[in-house]
Amino acid sequence: MSPLTHLLASWIVAAKTTDNLRDRRLVTLAGVLPDLDGVGIVFDMANGSFARGNLFYYQEYHHWLAHGLPAALLCSAVLAAFGRRRWRVFGLALVVFHLHLLCDLAGSRGPGADDFWPIFYFGPVSRNPMWIWKHQWGLDSWPNRVITMALFWWALWLAVKRGDSFVGVFNRRADRVFVGVLRKWSTQIGIAGKHH
């Protein structure tokens, strides 16, 4: 699934399970960080292979370097070190990291009907076991769009209710402005009720 979908899903889990902004951001990041192994697409674009449809770095390293248990443990431990409730952050980071893997297993197929993206659970240490789901839907398919839109609306509703949003993962000041606008709109159309 797309990084936006992972961000929204992870933030919703974090919003429902953490009690402070720092831990919420850390847990949310754990659900997005696995896609760092997709940064090879930048190198593919720079050397022109993206335009020729011949990706190398992206194809070779995405879902291999940071989509397995070693990365999950490392990511969770590093993020937990910065948390207020470290063991809770560690456990929740593991959960959202694995949610990312599950989402990719379900909805990350490439454009071809047999262009499946497997998960190498012990990657980059080993290629075994390799998880693949033969019913994986395409990255740009309608199920991913529906899921992303549902998560987006749920995240907006939670943001109005809670007073912080997924924008705060990257910038708290922008988050205050974003939530302020959302609350103003929700008051104008009368859907939010009382804010906390």
pTM (predicted TM-score): 0.89
Within a domain: 91: yes
Q: What is the pLDDT of residue 5?
A: 97
Q: What are phi and psi of 19, to 5 degrees?
A: -120, 10
Within a domain: 144: no
- Domain housing 8: 3-137
Q: What is the pLDDT of residue 51?
A: 63
99 Cβ neighbours under 8 A, 6+ residues apart:
9, 10, 13, 31
- The larger pLDDT score, comparing residue 193 to residue 124, is at 124
Q: One-letter amino acid identity for 153?
A: W
**pLDDT over 90 at 116, yes or no:** no
Within a domain: 94: yes
% of the chain at pLDDT higher than 70: 92
**pLDDT over 70 at 195, yes or no:** no
d(CA 95, CA 26): 12
**pLDDT over 80 at 53, yes or no:** no
Within a domain: 69: yes
Q: How far apart, in Å, are the Cα atoms of 82 and each of 75, 90, 187?
A: 11, 10, 36
Q: One-letter amino acid identity for 117?
A: W
Within a domain: 120: yes
**pLDDT per residue over 24-51, tens digit each?**
999 999 999 999 988 877 777 777 766 6
Within a domain: 34: yes
Mean pLDDT of the chain: 90
- Polymer length of the chain: 196
Within a domain: 131: yes
Token duo for residue 85: 């409730």
Q: What are phi and psi of 191, to 5 degrees?
A: -110, -15
Neighbours of 163 (CB within 10 A): 17
The distance between the two most distant Cα atoms of the chain, rounded to a whole number of Å, is 55
d(CA 55, CA 149): 29
Contact between 10 and 30 (Cβ < 8 Å):
yes
Tell me if residue 131 falls in helix, strand or coil. strand
Structural domain count, the chain: 1
Within a domain: 97: yes
**pLDDT over 70 at 194, yes or no:** no
Query: What band does 78 get if pLDDT is binned at 50, 70 and 90?
Result: very high
> 92-106, 117-131, 165-179 — which is least confidently predicted?
117-131
